[in-house]
C-alpha cells in the first residue's frame, strides 16, 4: 500500500503518519504547503524513514496532484485551513484550501480511479442542543471554517453519486495531544501558563466539546482504511463531552496554577454551544472504540508540551495568545 497524505506536517496528519510508519509496512508520500501550523519538527523520529517521502506543494496544484496520485493507491486528505478564529478574520484561504483543494483532488481521483478518505469535522452539524448528530443529520454550519468543510462533503458526495468515485468521509470531534499548534485551546492554555499570564475564556466558557486523543482518532482513520465501505461516512468521537472552562481548570490543576488567572471575556461570533456525535456506526460496523481516558490523555499531553520547550515555544507570534484572535488582521 502506498498512501498520499495531504497536510501531513500539521497536527493530526503528522500523528497519522507516525501511526502508519510504526504499525504498517506501507509507503507514505506527504504533500504539504508548509502554511500556518505546519512543521517538520512534527515528524522527527519517525519509524521506518525509508518508507517516507516529503513533497512541498499545494493541493490546489492540479499538475502536482495528478503526478502524486498516479503513484499512490489512496489519498488521505488532512490538508485544510482549520482554525475557526482565523476563518472569521479572513475566510478566503479557507475557501481556497478546503473547497478548491478538495475539488482538485476529486478531479484527479475521478480520472485516475483512486481512493479518497476525507477528514472532516463535527462542526459541520453546528450546535446540537439535544441528543447527538448521526451520519444522516443535516448540516448547520456556523463559521466560515465549518461551512467550507460542509461544502467539501457535499462536493464529495456529488462526485460519489455522479462519477462513482471511491471515497469515504470521516468526521471527528475535538482532537488533543502532541504536535498541536499553540492557537488551539489546550496548548494555548499551557503556553500562557508557562508565560505566567491570564487565561482568556470565551464568554462563560460553557461551550461543550467532545474531546478525543489524536492517537484514538488516527486509529479510527486506519480502521476506516481497512474496513470502511466506499460511499459511506463515519462519525468518530471520544465520548468525553465537557465544557471549555473545565478543560482549562484541569490543565491549571496539573500545572499547579491558580484558577484566579481565568479571564472571562467576549464570546466568539457564531459560537456553537455544544458539539456531539453519535459514533454507533463505526463502533458497531467497524469495531473501533476510543481507548485513551480523558484525564490520562490530558496529563500526558501537558507533560509532552512542558518537555518540548525549545521547539514549541520559540517564535510563537504574540497574536496567537490574543483573547480575541478573530479580530487579528489576516
Judge contact between 124 and 139, C-beta under 8 A: yes
For residue 197, give Cα distances in angstroms to 161, 186, 188. Answer: 52, 15, 11
- Name which of 99, 118, 330 is nearest 233 in CA terms: 118
Rounded to whole angstroms, the Cα distance separating 250 from 253 reads: 5
Rounded to whole angstroms, the Cα distance separating 203 from 47 reads: 43
Catalytic positions: 122-123, 145
DSSP per position, 257-305: --GGGEEE-PPPTT--SB--B--HHIIIII-------HHHHHHHHHHHH
SS3 annotation, 177-212: CCCCCCCCHHHHHHHHHHCCCCEEECCCCCCEEEEE
Rounded to whole angstroms, the Cα distance separating 24 from 193 reads: 38
C-alpha cell at 109: 481521483
Judge contact between 122 and 241, C-beta under 8 A: no
DSSP per position, 42-82: GGTT-S-GGGEEEEE--TT-HHHHHHHHHT-SEEEE-----
Judge contact between 256 and 193, C-beta under 8 A: no
Amino acid at each position: 500500500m502506498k498512501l498520499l497524505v495531504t497536510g501531513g506536517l500539521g497536527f493530526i496528519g503528522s500523528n497519522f503518519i507516525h501511526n502508519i510508519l510504526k504499525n504498517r509496512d506501507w509507503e507514505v508520500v506527504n504533500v504539504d504547503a508548509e502554511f500556518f501550523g505546519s512543521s517538520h519538527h512534527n515528524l522527527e523520529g519517525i519509524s521506518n524513514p525509508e518508507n517516507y517521502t516529503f513533497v512541498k506543494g499545494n493541493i490546489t496544484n492540479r499538475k502536482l496532484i495528478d503526478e502524486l496520485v498516479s503513484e499512490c493507491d489512496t489519498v488521505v486528505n488532512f490538508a485544510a485551513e482549520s482554525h475557526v478564529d482565523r476563518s472569521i478574520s479572513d475566510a478566503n484561504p479557507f475557501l481556497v484550501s478546503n473547497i478548491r483543494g478538495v475539488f482538485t483532488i476529486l478531479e484527479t481521483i475521478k480520472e485516475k480511479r483512486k481512493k479518497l478518505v476525507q477528514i472532516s469535522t463535527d462542526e459541520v452539524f453546528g450546535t446540537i442542543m439535544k441528543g447527538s448528530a448521526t451520519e444522516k443529520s443535516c448540516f448547520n454550519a456556523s463559521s466560515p471554517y465549518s461551512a467550507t468543510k460542509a461544502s467539501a462533503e457535499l462536493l464529495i458526495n456529488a462526485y460519489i453519486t455522479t462519477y462513482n468515485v471511491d471515497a469515504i468521509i470521516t468526521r471527528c470531534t475535538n482532537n488533543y495531544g502532541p504536535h498541536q499548534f499553540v492557537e488551539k485551546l489546550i496548548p494555548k492554555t499551557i503556553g500562557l501558563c508557562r508565560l505566567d499570564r491570564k487565561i482568556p475564556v470565551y464568554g462563560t466558557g460553557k461551550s461543550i466539546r467532545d474531546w478525543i486523543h489524536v492517537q484514538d482518532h488516527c486509529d479510527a482513520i486506519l480502521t476506516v482504511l481497512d474496513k470502511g465501505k466506499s460511499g459511506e461516512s463515519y462519525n468518530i468521537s471520544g465520548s468525553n463531552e465537557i465544557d471549555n472552562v473545565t478543560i482549562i481548570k484541569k490543565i491549571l490543576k496539573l500545572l499547579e496554577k491558580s484558577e484566579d488567572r481565568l479571564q472571562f471575556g467576549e464570546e466568539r461570533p457564531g459560537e456553537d454551544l455544544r458539539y456531539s456525535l453519535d459514533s454507533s456506526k463505526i463502533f458497531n460496523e467497524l469495531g473501533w472504540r476510543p481507548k485513551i481516558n480523558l484525564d490520562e490523555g490530558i496529563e500526558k499531553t501537558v507533560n509532552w508540551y512542558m518537555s518540548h520547550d525549545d521547539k514549541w515555544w520559540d517564535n510563537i507570534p504574540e497574536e496567537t495568545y490574543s483573547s480575541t484572535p478573530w479580530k487579528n488582521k489576516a
